[in-house]
Amino acid sequence: MSDHIPTALTLHKASRTLELSFDDLGSISLSCEFLRVHSPSAEVRGHGQGQEILQTGMRTIEITAIEPVGNYAIRPVFSDGHDSGIYSWDFLHSLCSEHEQLWQTYLKRLEAAGFTHDTGRDTPMVKQGAGCASH
């Protein structure tokens, strides 16, 4: 049984956020983008440490449906078709409590891979001095 059961869960489609309330954390809003790039699925996490697959191009992702999984989790369906992540209450609680650290780590991984959040992550960053030389 979960130690952290949300007292409320609300999908806000306009702002593309999922608002969760926990007794010990209060109300926390997580973006659909954050939830998608931190999916607990093997498609995102791989099958072991170091096998994670960096998710890019998720800036405008939406959750189109949320399906309950027993009394212990939800399965969001994302607008890109991703629906294999089962988010347990404990996992959602950890995403809420570690949100800022996880987000900053994700942004650093994007940058290290040559992407930037400001470009929507669909386009690699242009390196300084990579253009044609003047003649």
* pLDDT reading at 26 higher than 80: yes
pLDDT at 47: 80
CATH of the domain at 58: 3.30.2020.30
Each residue's pLDDT tens digit, 78-132: 999 999 999 999 999 999 999 999 999 999 999 898 887 765 555 544 444 343 4
Query: In angstroms, what CA-CA distances link 39 with 28, 35, 61, 77?
Result: 17, 6, 13, 11
C-alpha 6/C-alpha 106 separation (Å) is 25
Q: What is the pLDDT of residues 38-87, one digit of tens each?
A: 999 998 988 877 788 999 989 899 999 999 999 999 999 999 999 999 99
In this structure, what token pair is assigned to residue 6?
């949300």
Task: Indicate if the pLDDT at residue 1 is higher than 90.
Answer: no
Instruction: Print the domain residue range for 108.
Output: 8-119
Q: How many CB atoms lie within 10 A of CB 55?
A: 20
The alpha carbon dihedral of 55, 57, 63, 64 has a sign of negative
21 within a domain of the structure (yes/no): yes
CA 36 to mean position of chain CA atoms: 4
In a domain, 135, yes or no: no
DSSP secondary structure code for residue 59 in this structure = T
Within a domain: 131 = no
Number of domains in the chain: 1
